[in-house]
Every structure is written in C-alpha cells, then in structure tokens.
Amino acid sequence: MIQGALGTAGLVVALVFGVVGTLALGLASARGRRPLWDVGVRLLVVSVSAILVAVVALEDAFVSHDFALRYVVENNARETPLIFSLSGMWSALQGSLLLWAAIEGLAILALVVVLRRSHDSTVAATALALLGGVLVFFVAIILGAANPFVLIHGAVPPDGQGPNPLLQQYPLVLVHPPLLYGGLVGTSVPFALATASVWHRRLDDAWLRRIRHWSLASWVMLGTGITLGAWWSYQVLGWGGYWAWDPVENAALLPWLTLAAYLHVAVAERRRRTFSASGYGLVAASFALSILTTYITRSGVLQSVHAFSDSRLGTELLVLFGATVALAVVVALLRAEVFVQGQVLRGGSRGLLLSLNAAVLVLVGVVVLAGTIFPLIDYRLTGASVNVGAPFFDRFVVPLALLALGLMALAPWSRWRSGSLDELAARTLVPAIAAAGVLLAAVALSVRSFATLGAWSLATFVLTSTVAGLVRHILARPRGRRLRAVVSRNVAGMVVHIGVAIVAVGMASATTFGHQGEVRLARGQSTTVFGQQLTYRGVRTVVTPQKTSFEALVTVGDQGTYLPAITQFGTYTTPVGTPAIAVSPLRDVYLTIDAPPRTSTSPITLGVVVQPLIFWLWLGAAVVAVGGVLAVVGIRFEPAGPSPERRSEPAVGAIVGADG
C-alpha cells in the first residue's frame, strides 16, 4: 500500500514542479534571462526525479505482488516470474503512459546535459519548455484518467489474474516496448529543437547537428523496436508470419518512415548548412505521428492483437496531436523566411535522388496512414465495418519499396555536382552486371514474382556497389587506422544500405517461397512436408507455478527435437498456442499444434510453415541497427561539411551523412 501512496505523491510533485518549471523556461525564452533558465531546469529535474520515483514504486509493487493496487491485480500474479513482473508495468494503459512520461523525462535530462554549456540559452529554454509541456500533459492524464496507483476497494485479494498470456510467453517483452517507446518519445526532442531553432532564427551548425543526431537516435530505437515487435509476433503468435499490416504495426511504422525521409533530406542540408521547410515538416510530422501511434495503440479505437488496453483517452491524445500540428504550421508560416528553398534540388544528381527517395518514403507513409485510418473514418461516417488488409498495402507499398531500393542503389554513385547519365552508367556498370546476372538466373529458375525479381536484383546491385565502396573506403586509410575506419561514422550509411538489401532479400524470399499446411501423424510416424522430414515422438505435460504446457515432441530432419505446445497461464481459462521453430540460414521450419491428440497414443495434427531465407530478414535488420548505432556513436574522422574526398566516396553518408 505504501507504493501506491509514494507513486501518487511522486506524480503530484512531478505535475506541480513540471508546470512551474515549464513556465519558468517559457519566461526565460521570452525574456532571455539566464537565471530563469537555471530555475526552470532545476524544477524540471525535480519533476523528472519524482516521475522516476513513481516508476520505482510501481515496479516494486509488481515485484512484491502488492495486490492493494488494482493495476497490479489486473496485470500480475504470485506465480508470475520476475522478468514478466518487471515488464508488467507497461503491459496495460496506465503503466505504458507512465513509461512514456519516464522516457520523456530521461530525454529531458539528457538534453539538459547536452545544453548545459550552450551559450544560446534562449533556444535551449524554448526547446526544454516544449518538452516540459509534453511531460506535463502526460503526467496530468495519468493522474486524471489513468492512474496505476488506484487502490482496491474492500479486502485485498490474495492473488492477481496475471499478465495477458501473450505478454508472458517470451522475454522480449522486457525489451521491445521500452525500445519502441524510446523511439516514439524520442521524436519529441528533434521536434522541440527544430521548433526552437526556427522560431529564434538560430539555424547554425550546432543546432542543425543536434536535430540530426536526435532524429537519428530516435530512428534507430524505433526501427529496432519495430523489428523486435515483428520477431515477437513471429515467435509467439503462432501464425508463422511477422508482419500483418495490423493497425498498431502500421502506426509505429509511420514515424519511422518520416524520420527516414528526413535523414535523407538532412544529408543534402548538412552539406549546405541549411534547414529546409521540408526538413522541418518531416521532423514535426514524426512527432505528430508518434502521438497518433499512441492514440491508436492505447485508445482502443482500432482492434489489434498488439493493443492490450481499451480506454477513453482518445480525445486527450487527439488534442495533443492537433496542438502539435497547429504549432508546427504556425511556426513554419511565421518564420518562412528562415527556410532555404530548393537547396536539396540544387545538390546535383545525388541531391535529386535523395529528395526523390525521401518523397517515396513519405508516399509509403501516406498509403499506410490511409489504409490504417480509413476503416475508422468509414465507420464514423457510415457505421459499416470495413477491413483494409494486406492485399491493399502490398499492391501499393511493394512497388514503392522497390522504387526506393532502386534510388538507394543509384544515389551513392551520383555526384553532388552535375553529372551526365553516361558517367553514372559507367560508374555503375559492374553492380548493374551483377544485378542483371541474378535477375537472369532467377528467371531461369522459374521465379515469376515481380516483387521477388525486383528485390533480388536491386539488392544485388546495392550489396555489390556498397560492399565495394566500403572496402575501398577502409583500404584508403593508413594500415594503423583501418580498424578505426570500420567503426567510424563515415561507414554508417554504407552499413545501413547493406542491411536494407539483406532485409529485402529475406523478406521477398520468405513471402514468395513460403509454404503453409497441416499434417496428421501418429506417434512414431515420419513424413516429409515441403521437403522437410518430420517425426512425431509423442506428447508430454509440463507444469510450473506460472503455466501448464501440453507439448508435442517433433524431430525436424537432423536439426533436433522441437516442442510446439498449447499453454494455459494462471487464471486465464483460454489456452494459447506456443510455436516451436527450427531455425537455419536457408529456411525456418515453424511448428504449431493445430489439433491435440485425444490420448497420448492418438494422432496429432501439426501446423507446418516453411519460411525460406527468413533468417536473413532478422540478420539484415540487425545490420541496419548496427549502422544506425555507428552513425550515432561511431568514430568521426573528418569534420562536418563537404570535402573533395567525401565527394569521391560513392556510398558515404548515403543515408545519414558522415557525422550522423
């Protein structure tokens, strides 16, 4: 019970100090007084500290099973393992909003550290005031409508009902939501920095670099979070896929796309040390779409396997979304003169290709947004329930994704200054020959899928050219500095491109050549399914304090024995399927129990999914994440700005620029 009182007190303190600190920073911004900045920063630090106290109190309530709190009763049980007790904090609405506020607070503390020695306290005060306003908003709605510290009325129950079964099957739940929220919340920082810089007309190198770096960090966290979410779906949900164009999946993808588009635009902006209206618009759109993601995920307005709560907070979140859009529009209109128009297009053929790539990414975002919210709009207007599924998204997104991959293949080989098509063709001859060879070989092997042919050939082009550029870049360094070059920011864009190409191969192969079916086997019987030998060895029941699992023992070729299961958790009466996956670089064999045997000697019906090369999807995503991390924290060789050497390196900075 003490955790409830401590947590509520922490939120009240956070709200009071957050409001006063935000107002002090607003005055510091308006009047340009450094003492007000100091006061405002200290007050915000107290506010963030109070939020962290509330987080610790709630986590302690989960770990100690304090069932005096209603939220703990609904999302925890005595038999819940420690790892899922820790993740229980963000397993439903109230705790997830507290997680948002805590990450927002940590972002504020990090920005305070970065800006503490800034000579331009006016811009810094404005940025922190905007972030303080976002923090206050979330603390206010937590206290008002989503307080996780509400006490149980009457007698304290001896046990809780436990987390949602889908949230206690896989330990990734401890990592995936915080990373995803870190990326979503992180978009508020570049938005605040960009808005403050534009408003005060301070668009020098230092502020533009901060906007780029914070955008990049958010993009890396958000992309990693999305990938881990796809992996969680693949490992847990039992359907054999990883992406279903689910509303929550789509919502998280939207700000990632706009951030990726901004990072492409930022490459050209960095060379000319300018900030464009399109750059500011993309940064603002990323934060606004993050708010929209939270609305879709936590308002219950759209049904999703990833939405583990239903609330009536839609109005409040839509107000914040509208306020963000309105603020960005007003700032852009009142400070239109600070934007340099058309500087990306003046960047020669590479600048044009980067702009086109950014436009394609935005267009993908528009398609995804339209398909996601159309059912909601149609329901409001007509009362009809319409489902926009994978065929719609595949029809429009796949061609756009191939176009983006093609532009990505060409951009690193083009020049910042004007160049001819003949020159570009000569520079890309070897990668083009390799791509054509793969295309012809695929056609000869009877591959007829346009998407797969395009993905394989374009990925070959990207891999050939980018790996060559990476090797050339490293070998151009003195022997003693080559290892440092491998982990430098200069190679980050090339590493990201390599990862994207690998993802394209894995995704296209699994989608085109995957097989799905069922097989009925008696105990001891073997069969071959989609080229994979399966042997059913029998069943067993495993009982733990947390769950009861009915497991089938299935041998997959010479890869070993795997245990697909049907599991019942705690007080939940509905069992859930738990797949087993035989993983290899060439294919995954995905097993589920579709119909259990009536007795230990009866036949069993197994679901079998064979996913060729899906391993490379996860590997490629990991390579993209490594490239993003290098762009943030890698060694930096050259100072920012264009140089003759950088102009001659084909793939450097193709996505994030040499300085990230």
Look at 105 and 472; give whichever has higher pLDDT: 105
Choose the weakest-confidence range: 214-228, 422-436, 610-624. 422-436
pLDDT, tens digit, 9 for 90 and up, residues 153-169: 889 999 998 888 888 88
pLDDT at position 641, please? 41
Q: What pLDDT band is residue 659 in, cutting at 50, 70 and 90?
A: very low
- Name the nearest CA neighbour of 349 among 404, 411, 257, 261: 411
- DSSP letter, residue 150: P
Residue that terminates a domain, selected from 162, 183, 218: 162
Residue 548 falls inside a structural domain: yes
pLDDT score of 655 more than 50: no
pLDDT at position 435, please? 93
pLDDT at position 116, please? 83
Please say whether the beta carbons of 592 and 238 come within 8 A.
yes
Strand, coil or helix: 386: coil
Mean pLDDT of 373-389: 76
The tokens for 186 are: 């992180």
Please say whether the beta carbons of 44 and 112 come within 8 A.
yes
Helix axes 390-410, 492-513, angle to 10 degrees: 140
pLDDT, tens digit, 9 for 90 and up, residues 40-53: 999 999 999 999 99
378/385 Cα distance (integer angstroms):
8
| 224 residue type, one letter | T
The tokens for 323 are: 């306020």
Residue 17 falls inside a structural domain: yes
Share above pLDDT 90 across residues of the chain, in percent, rounded to a whole number: 60
Q: Specify the number of domains making up the chain.
A: 2
List the Cα angle 628/403/424 in 5-degree steps.
Answer: 85
CATH of the domain at 568: 2.60.98
pLDDT, tens digit, 9 for 90 and up, residues 68-100: 999 999 999 999 999 999 999 998 889 999 999
pLDDT score of 312 more than 90: no
Residue that terminates a domain, selected from 162, 183, 209: 162
pLDDT at position 654, please? 40
Look at 641 and 594; give whichever has higher pLDDT: 594
Residue 582 falls inside a structural domain: yes
428/192 Cα distance (integer angstroms):
41
Please say whether the beta carbons of 61 and 88 come within 8 A.
no
The residue range of the domain holding 583 is: 515-614
Pairing of strands 532-543, 560-562: unpaired
Pairing of strands 576-578, 560-562: unpaired
Choose the weakest-confidence range: 174-178, 293-297, 594-598. 293-297
Look at 13 and 657; give whichever has higher pLDDT: 13
Residue 528 falls inside a structural domain: yes
The tokens for 630 are: 């290098």
pLDDT score of 658 more than 50: no
At which residue do the structure tokens 């951009």 appear? 411
Please say whether the beta carbons of 52 and 85 come within 8 A.
no
pLDDT at position 626, please? 92
pLDDT at position 35, please? 86
Residue 136 falls inside a structural domain: yes
Per DSSP, which regions of 226-373 are E strands? none
Share above pLDDT 70 across residues of the chain, in percent, rounded to a whole number: 90
pLDDT score of 201 more than 70: yes
pLDDT, tens digit, 9 for 90 and up, residues 580-591: 999 999 999 999
Helix axes 314-334, 277-298, angle to 10 degrees: 180
Residue 550 falls inside a structural domain: yes
Q: What pLDDT band is residue 656 in, cutting at 50, 70 and 90?
A: very low
| 149 residue type, one letter | F
578/384 Cα distance (integer angstroms):
34
Residue 125 falls inside a structural domain: yes
pTM of the model: 0.91
User: Three-state secondary structure along 23-47?
Assistant: HHHHHHHHHCCHHHHHHHHHHHHHH
pLDDT, tens digit, 9 for 90 and up, residues 236-265: 988 889 998 988 889 999 999 999 999 999
- Mean pLDDT for the chain? 87
Residue 3 falls inside a structural domain: yes
pLDDT at position 342, please? 45
